[in-house]
């Protein structure tokens, strides 16, 4: 064998394994069911997609995603879930009430929850440590944090005696959050009254009118995709009627609310991407304990506080993770 032949053979031996590896690279398909719209959910979706890219998944190269959006209409979820299941994706991804809709149409395709409220209480999983079935992912602590929001609002407004709570009861966690708040309200000597909204915008105006008739001193907004979508409307109502208000997401403060306290939804969706990665690599949902975000953020809107002539106590300001001016 001459030098030229030996060189060619060496090159072929070097390239062949790489070519084989390239040919064996698999492309995956995800199904994503969103309860709101692509526009409203864009920040969370961006966090999820970025985390997937960091894990080596690039849309159009080795992963494809089929989306279905309910646009806040809960009644559309079953049909949209069925559409995604018929596409036979490798993993289904959803959140909130969308998880239950997907579970109704498949018990075999792995389901990853992205920051879903109280999945144990909602019957989506058996427990955080042993979820069971084909579902795992991330649980937000909306229920656990509900009473804390009332405590924080009372700390910001010491004279608070009467509070309105705005909830979307299509989300089971809202009912349980209300029960937890009622216990704390009695301890704080605060009268609490509940007002319901749905995905229909008209229900917000009805709730606002009912709240004004009761003349509360403050407002607690229980977070869910529908309520978060109408954050500007809610914050505007609170500002116009000089109601100190607390929500459960940073976006509520950006929209003009006084306070927010909750888990970091972006972190939750980054965690969800890790679950997708592990399942695509062979893990079973039944073997993957459900995680919870570890960061909880208190955010204060000083511009809103000034407009309400409120002096936020120093004890509360020192606890704030972010102050919006």
3-class SS string, the chain: CCHHHHHHHHHHHHHHHHHHHHHHCCCEEEEEEECCCCCCCHHHHHHHHHHHHHCCCCECCCEEEEEEECCCCHHHHHHHHHHHHHCCCCEEEECCHHHHHHHCCCCCCCEEEEEEECCCCCCCCCCCCCCCCCEEEEEECHHHHHHHHHHHHHHHCCCCCEEEEEECCCCHHHHHHHHHHHHHHHHHCCEEEEEECCCCHHHHHHHHHHHHHHCCCEEEECCCHHHHHCHHHHHHHHHHCCCCEEECCHHHHHCCCCEEEEECHHHHHHHHHHHHHHHHCCCCHHHCCCECCCCEEEEEEHHHHHHCCCCCCHHHHCCCCEEEC
Q: Is the confidence at residue 13, as pLDDT, over 80?
A: no
pLDDT at 143: 66
**pLDDT by residue (tens digit) across 107-132?**
999 999 998 878 888 899 999 999 99
Confidence band (pLDDT; 50, 70, 90) for 96? confident
Mean pLDDT over residues 159-185, rounded?
91
Please name each of the domains of the chain with its CATH number. Answer: 27-140+265-294 (3.40.50.2300), 142-263+297-324 (3.40.50.2300)
Confidence band (pLDDT; 50, 70, 90) for 58? very high
pLDDT at 95: 92
Mean pLDDT over residues 34-40, rounded?
89
* CA–CA distance, 218 with 149 (Å, rounded to integer): 12
| Average per-residue pLDDT for the chain | 89
Mean pLDDT over residues 300-306, rounded?
96
């Amino acid at each position: 064998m001459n030098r030229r032949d030996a060189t060619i053979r060496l090159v072929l031996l070097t390239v062949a394994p790489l070519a084989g590896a390239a040919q064996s690279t698999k492309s995956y398909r995800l199904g994503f069911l969103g309860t709101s719209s692509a526009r409203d959910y864009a920040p969370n979706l961006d966090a999820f997609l970025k985390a997937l890219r960091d894990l080596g998944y690039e849309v159009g190269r080795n992963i494809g995603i089929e989306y279905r959006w309910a646009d806040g209409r809960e009644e559309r979820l079953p049909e949209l879930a069925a559409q995604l299941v018929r596409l036979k994706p490798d993993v289904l991804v959803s959140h909130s009430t969308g998880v239950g809709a997907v579970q109704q149409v498949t018990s075999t395709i792995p389901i990853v929850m992205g920051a879903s409220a109280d999945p144990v209480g909602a019957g989506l999983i058996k427990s955080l440590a042993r979820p069971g079935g084909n579902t795992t992912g991330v649980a937000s602590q909306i229920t656990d944090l509900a009473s804390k929001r009332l405590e924080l609002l009372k700390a910001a407004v010491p004279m608070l005696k009467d509070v309105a709570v705005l909830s979307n009861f299509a989300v089971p966690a809202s009912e349980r959050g209300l029960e937890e708040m009622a216990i704390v309200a009695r301890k704080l000597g605060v009268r609490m009254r509940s007002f319901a909204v749905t995905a229909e915008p008209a229900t917000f105006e009805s709730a606002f009118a009912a709240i004004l008739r009761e003349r509360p001193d403050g407002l607690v907004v229980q977070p869910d995709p529908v309520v978060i979508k109408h954050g500007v409307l809610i914050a505007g109502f609170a500002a116009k009627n000089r109601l100190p208000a607390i929500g459960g997401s940073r976006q509520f403060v950006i929209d003009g609310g006084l306070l927010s306290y909750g888990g970091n939804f972006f972190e939750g969706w980054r965690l969800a991407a890790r679950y997708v990665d592990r399942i695509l690599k062979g893990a079973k949902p039944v073997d993957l304990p459900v995680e919870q975000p570890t960061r909880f953020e208190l955010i204060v809107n000083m511009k809103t506080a000034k407009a309400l002539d409120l002096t936020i106590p120093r004890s509360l300001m020192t606890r704030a993770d972010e102050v919006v001016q």
